[in-house]
C-alpha cells in the first residue's frame, strides 16, 4: 500500500496490492498507457478482483488519489503539531516533503507531478483538496499574527510553497542531482527573506498582532 508513515500490512490485502501496482505503473508509464491487464499482472490478482474492488481503471486512479491526499494531509497535520510558529511549521513541512521525495518517490510524484485533471476530471483539483487548504491555513495564521508579510493567502502560499514544489518536480525529473534536503537551508533563506515580516521566526511558537498574542494551532 502506498503509505508514507504506516507500515504496509503483511500479507498485503488485495486492494492494497492493486493500488501499489497502479501507483508505480501510473507514475512510470503515464495513466493513459496503463491498462487493467498491466495492473492485474503487476499486482498478481485476477481481473475480477480489480473490478470488484474498484470498478475499473478510473476507479483505481480515484481511490489512489484520495488515499495519497490523506497521506499528505497527515504530513501537514504532523508539521502543525510539531511546531507552533507558522514559519517553523512551513519549514518542517517542506523538510518532510523533501525527505519523502527521496524515500517515497512515486507517492510524491503522483501528488506533485501528475496532471490529475487529464484522467480524473470529476475529482477536485489538488490545490482545492484538504491538505493544500490546510497548508494555506498555516499561511493565513502567519499573516494574521504578523509573522508573514502580505494579505492574500494564495500569493503568500505560492511564494513559500511554490519554490519547494518546483524543486520537488525538478528532483523527480532528475534535474537536481543532490538529495533535496541538502538544498533546504538555502531555499529557506531565499524563501523567507521576502515573506517573513521580521528577521527571525517566532521561535517560541507565538507572534503578536496589535498586542494580542496569537498562537498557531
**Residue of higher predicted confidence among 212 and 190:** 190
Homologous superfamily, domain 68-215: Tetracycline Repressor, domain 2 (1.10.357.10)
Distance between CA atoms of 89 and 32, rounded to whole angstroms?
37
The model's pLDDT over 106-159, given as tens digits with 9 standing for 90+, comes to 999 999 988 888 888 888 888 899 999 999 999 999 999 999 999 999 999 999
Model confidence at 177, pLDDT cuts 50, 70, 90, reads: very high
Domain boundaries, the chain: 68-215
Across 191-201, average pLDDT: 62
88 CB-near residues (< 8 Å, 6+ apart): 201, 202, 203, 205
Model confidence at 212, pLDDT cuts 50, 70, 90, reads: very low
Residue bearing cell 490545490: 127
Q: What pTM, to 2 d.p., does this model score? A: 0.86
Model confidence at 24, pLDDT cuts 50, 70, 90, reads: very high
Distance between CA atoms of 123 and 184, rounded to whole angstroms?
32
Q: What percentage of residues in the chain have a pLDDT greater than 90?
A: 75
Residue-wise burial string across 2-11, b where 16 or more C-beta atoms lie within 10 A, e elsewhere:
bbbeeeeeee
**DSSP per-residue codes, 114-174:** S-HHHH-TTSPPGGGSHHHHHHHHHHHHHHHTTSB--S-HHHHHHHHHHHHHHHHHHHHTT
Among 201, 210, 212, 209, smallest CA distance to 84 is for: 201
User: Does a cis peptide bond (omega within 30 degrees of 0) precede residue 205?
Assistant: no
Give the chain's largest Cα–Cα span. Answer: 64
Amino acid at each position: 500500500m502506498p503509505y508514507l508513515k504506516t507500515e504496509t500490512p503483511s500479507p498485503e490485502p488485495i486492494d492494497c496490492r492493486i493500488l501499489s501496482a497502479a501507483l508505480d505503473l501510473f507514475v512510470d508509464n503515464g495513466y493513459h498507457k496503463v491498462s487493467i491487464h498491466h495492473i492485474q499482472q503487476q499486482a498478481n490478482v485476477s481481473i475480477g478482483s480489480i473490478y470488484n474492488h474498484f470498478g475499473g481503471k478510473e476507479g483505481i486512479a480515484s481511490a489512489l488519489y484520495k488515499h495519497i491526499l490523506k497521506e499528505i494531509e497527515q504530513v501537514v497535520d504532523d508539521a502543525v503539531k510539531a511546531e507552533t510558529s507558522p514559519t517553523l511549521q512551513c519549514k518542517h513541512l517542506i523538510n518532510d516533503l523533501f525527505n519523502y521525495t527521496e524515500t517515497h518517490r512515486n507517492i510524491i510524484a503522483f501528488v506533485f507531478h501528475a496532471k490529475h485533471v487529464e484522467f480524473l476530471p470529476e475529482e477536485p483539483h489538488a490545490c482545492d483538496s484538504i491538505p493544500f487548504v490546510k497548508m494555506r491555513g498555516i499561511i493565513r495564521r502567519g499573516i494574521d499574527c504578523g509573522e508573514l508579510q502580505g494579505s492574500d493567502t494564495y500569493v503568500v502560499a505560492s511564494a513559500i510553497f511554490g519554490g519547494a514544489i518546483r524543486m520537488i518536480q525538478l528532483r523527480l525529473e532528475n534535474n537536481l542531482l543532490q538529495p533535496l534536503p541538502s538544498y533546504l537551508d538555502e531555499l529557506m533563506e531565499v524563501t523567507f527573506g521576502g515573506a517573513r515580516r521580521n528577521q527571525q521566526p517566532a521561535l517560541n511558537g507565538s507572534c503578536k498582532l496589535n498586542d494580542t498574542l496569537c498562537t498557531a494551532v
